[in-house]
Amino acid sequence: MESDIIDRRLIHALQIDGRAPFSKIAEVLGVSDQTVARRYRRLTSGGRLRVVGQTVPRLVGEVRWYVRVRCRPDVALAVAEALARRPDTSFIMVTSGGTEINFVVQSRTDRDRDALLLQKLPRTPRVDSVSAHCLLHVYYGGAHEHPRFLAALTEEQAAALRGPEPTGTPVELSPQDDLLLGELTRDGRATLAELAAATGWSETSAGRRLDALLSGGALYLDLDVDSHVLGRGTQARLWMSVPPAEQDAVGDALAAHEEVAFVAATTGPSNLVAAVACRDVFGLHEYITGPLGRLRAIQHLETAPVIRSVKGAAMIMP
């Protein structure tokens, strides 16, 4: 069900600042604190919205891989759910009529990557093939993924919530940082008391480290949002091949399309991957034959409709 305007404004506000106090959001939206808190609880308890901490791979010494697993339809969901229990996976989706799983894995060491991609998955019964595409460059996505789907706040309202641009400072994560980030992947709005309990730090130290990671850009707050809430009931993954000389031009063009939630350059025969969200299947057809079709440099396109989302942005499954 598509949300009403107050819900959409609340979601837009959280996209800008996922940890903004309800009192500040209420002031910007012109409603009461109780209204914001009640709407937030309703959206989160219904599984339609979550604020999730995410790291930027290049700033924390990690590598992100986009993985395609082709398998028998009768095992796809079981394999996807097993992958979802891993803390290093995210954006797990069953696509292509149940014959493929698309997911993201972010690893800090070659050993972590190889254990999953070279050992565990290839030995899984009824898995036919595994292909991994290394993230090279993001043209659009991450912290800026949803605003154009929302467009619910005025520029003045958005500016009141927007903080300074992150500095883009690389950081070496400590074991305690990993504990902090683990708590934030479960709940990006975790209290300082909860972060202190998870790390063993004082609340002051936990808050100071959180602020440093956010202001440096190594950490950002993402939203897991049910696409139906945004009026986008059909999602798909697009895998595209373009000549290397045209890759940046096509990536930048895709980044400007309102249907695109994410687009990145990757390794592999499909050197661009995009996540798109359309109002319905007819809207997907209009996008593919319209704005996408006008990009003549695209030599090959695979469209993988999402039939089930199993895990969102770094959500740790029980």
State the burial class of residue 119 (Cβ atoms within 10 Å of its Cβ: 0-12, 13-18, 19+): exposed
Per-residue model confidence (pLDDT) at position 160: 96
pLDDT for the residue numbered 197: 97
Q: Say if CB 93 and CB 310 are below 8 A apart.
A: yes
The reported pLDDT for the residue numbered 318 is 33
First-to-final CA distance of the chain? 26
CA distance 284 to 277: 8
What number of H helices and E strands is found in the chain? 13, 10
Gap between the Cα atoms of 222 and 80, Å rounded: 22
What is the Cα–Cα distance from 135 to 63, expressed in whole angstroms? 7
CA distances in angstroms from 283 to 83, 150, 287, listed in the order given: 31, 17, 6
Enclosing H/E stretch for 192: helix 192-199
Residue 190: closest CA among 8, 60, 316: 316
Residue count of the chain, please give it. Answer: 318
pLDDT score at 275: 93
Return the pLDDT at 228. Answer: 77
**Residue 257 confidence (pLDDT):** 95
pLDDT tens for the chain, residues 1 to 318: 445 889 989 999 998 999 999 999 999 999 999 999 999 999 999 788 999 999 998 899 988 999 999 999 999 999 999 888 887 888 999 998 889 999 999 887 777 777 777 677 877 888 888 898 999 999 998 765 555 666 789 999 999 999 999 999 999 999 999 999 999 988 999 999 999 999 999 999 999 999 999 999 999 998 888 877 777 889 999 999 999 999 999 999 999 999 998 999 999 999 999 999 999 999 999 999 999 999 999 999 999 999 998 988 754 433
Query: What per-residue confidence (pLDDT) applies to 59?
Result: 94
Confirm if 51 and 190 have CB atoms less than 8 A apart: no
In angstroms, rounded to a whole number, what is the distance separating the alpha carbons of residues 249 and 295?
A: 10
pLDDT score at 147: 52
